[in-house]
Amino acid sequence: MRNKFIKKITITAVLSALSTLAFMLENLFPPLFIPGARMGISNVFILFTIVAIGYEYGFMVMTVKILLGSVFSGNLSGVLYSLPAGLLSCGVQTLLVYFTKNFSLPAISVFGAVINSAIQNTVFCLITNTWEYLSYLPYLTLIAIVSGLIVGLATYLLIKKLPLKTITDK
Amino acid sequence: MKKEKGSTELVSKFIESKPFHVKDLILYTFILCAVALLFVFFIILPKTDKPNGFSVSVNNEIVFTFEFSTEQITVLNENYQLSHDKNHNTITLYVDGNSYNKLSYNTNNLTVKIIDSNCPNHDCVDFFEISSGSGVIYCLPHGLKILPLVPIQSEPSTGGRL
């Protein structure tokens, strides 16, 4: 039992590091057409953790990625709107993975990305009192659909190709 | 739920499944409807009057306004240092000490955008230029906001609108 827990925590730490690294690398490139828009490749590791290890570990990976990624990339103000969006997006994806059990990973990822984009945009407007920025929301949602699809397909391939006996609890 | 948490059963289910299910159409339809509504409310419906100037505020306090017709700056807060280069149509605002944002305006097209800044993420430089009454440019690290001044609004403090 204890060994299982240690194994899960160790894998979560590795996935957190990979997610943070992907997040920081992505921040080095210019945004996709719209300020703040990214592909969100780091979310592959979060969705993978939710499915393969457990939702609470997925939340851990997401929190570590946002906190450490923001500190290391020198954009601390980003935590204010990234963290609530990440929490809600993870929550929605967890519900779709564990409760509905009817949807594919790409669809779940697309829905999570759209929720993330909408919450991030709304919280940004709330914090900065700049409701005019909502006019970027339709474009950000379109980018979220494409990026969510890519992240979902990547997670699907990762789950299909990786030797999961080394990761899951059996 | 606990039984399947991160278990091989759940993973096997995803391994055996295809990347697309018929039931996914429910989610995709919902998302596409939401996108269509967003485009209607935020892009198609808002009026797109040309602005006659713009206001620049820092931490929600207006620092100055600029009118395209006269090319005149009206300073409303003298705590900030400004540098206006009329030859290159640029205005540099020093937010505090060394922190700055450089604006470029075009009096023919009635547009304004940020072309340079020393903020950490440079997102403000990537914002679309303001060319209508519904635009906005924001620099989060510097707390700087640029809003268009539209003809029907005489008060500069009200800035742009959606």
Of B18, B121, B136, the CB nearest to A132: B136
Residues in chain B with CB shorter than 8 Å from the CB of A142 are 35
- What tens-digit pLDDT sequence spans chain A (170 residues)? 678 888 889 999 999 999 999 999 988 887 777 877 888 899 999 999 999 999 999 999 999 999 999 888 877 878 888 999 999 999 999 999 988 878 999 999 999 999 999 999 999 888 888 888 888 899 999 999 999 999 999 999 998 888 766 666 54
From A135's Cα to the closest Cα of chain B, the distance in A is 5
Instruction: Classify residue A170: in a domain, yes or no.
Output: no
ipTM, two decimals: 0.81
- When divided into structural domains, chain A yields a total of 1
Q: What is the CATH number of the domain that holds A95?
A: 1.10.1760.20
Are A145 and B35 in contact (CB < 8 Å)?
A: yes
Burial B122-133 (b: 16+ CB within 10 A, else e): bbbbbbbbbbbb
Q: The domain containing residue A125 runs over which residues?
A: 2-165
Q: Is residue A153 part of a domain?
A: yes
Chain B interface, best mutation among A51, A117, A132, by max B CB count within 10 A? A132
B133 contact A CB<8A: no
Beta carbons of B140 and A142 less than 8 Å apart: no
